[in-house]
Amino acid sequence: MAHITLVRGDITEQAVDAVVNAANSSLLGGGGVDGAIHRRGGPQILAECRRLRDSRYGRGLPTGRAVATTAGRLPARWVIHTVGPVWSREEDRSALLASCYRESLRVADELGARTVAFPAISTGIYGWPLDDGAAIALRTVREVTQAAAGEGSQVDEVRFVLFDQTAYEVFEAELDRA
C-alpha cells in the first residue's frame, strides 16, 4: 500500500523514480508543468516524444492515457506523460481525469517505479476546479494503491507536488476528509 504524501514545490525538482507530466495530446510540449519538464529535462525528452509520434501515437496520445519516456536531465528516471481532459461545464469528464491517474500508475508499475510524483492534472491551463481535481486525484490513487495484495500497485510513495499554497491546502483538506 503506497503512502500518499503532499509537498509544495516544483515537480521538476523531485528526486523520484517517475514524474508525471500534465501533457497535451501532441506530446510536443506546452505550458505549465509540460513546459517546465521539457525546459529542465532537456531535449532528450522531446526527442523520445517525437519518436512516439512517429510510431505508436501518430495521432497523438489520447486523453486519459499515459506513456513513459526518459526523464533526461531531471532528477528522476522516467517521465510519464498523461493527457488530462479540459474541464467542461456541459459534460462530466471525471472518468477521463481518474483514468490519467490510474493509467499513469499502471505505467509506473510496468516500469518498476516505486516513487511517483504527480502534479494536479488538468487544474491549470485545462481549467479543472482545484477542489474537485484534488478529490478525484486522491480517490483514484487510493483505489489503485489500496487494492488487494497482488492486484494493486507496487508503488511505495505517491507524492502530489502542489505548485502554490492554495493548491497545497486544498489537497491537504481533501486528504484529511477521507
Of 10, 17, 34, 131, which residue is the catalytic one? 34
Residue 37 has which C-alpha cell?
Answer: 519538464
Question: Which residue's CB is nearer to ligand ADP, number 108 or number 170?
Answer: 170
Smallest gap, in angstroms, from Cβ of residue 22 to ligand ADP?
4
- DSSP run (H or E) holding 175: helix 165-177
Question: Which residue's CB is nearer to ligand ADP, number 87 or number 152?
Answer: 87
| Type of residue at 113 | A
- Asked if 34 is an active-site residue, the reply is yes
Question: Which residue's CB is nearer to ligand ADP, number 123 or number 140?
Answer: 123
Angle between helices 32-41 and 43-54 (to 10 degrees): 110
Residues 113, 117, 118, 119, CA torsion sign: negative
Binding site for ligand ADP (CB under 6 A): 10-12, 22, 31-34, 36, 84, 119-126, 161, 163, 167
Smallest gap, in angstroms, from Cβ of residue 131 to ligand ADP?
12
- DSSP run (H or E) holding 132: helix 130-145
Which residues participate in catalysis according to the annotation? 34
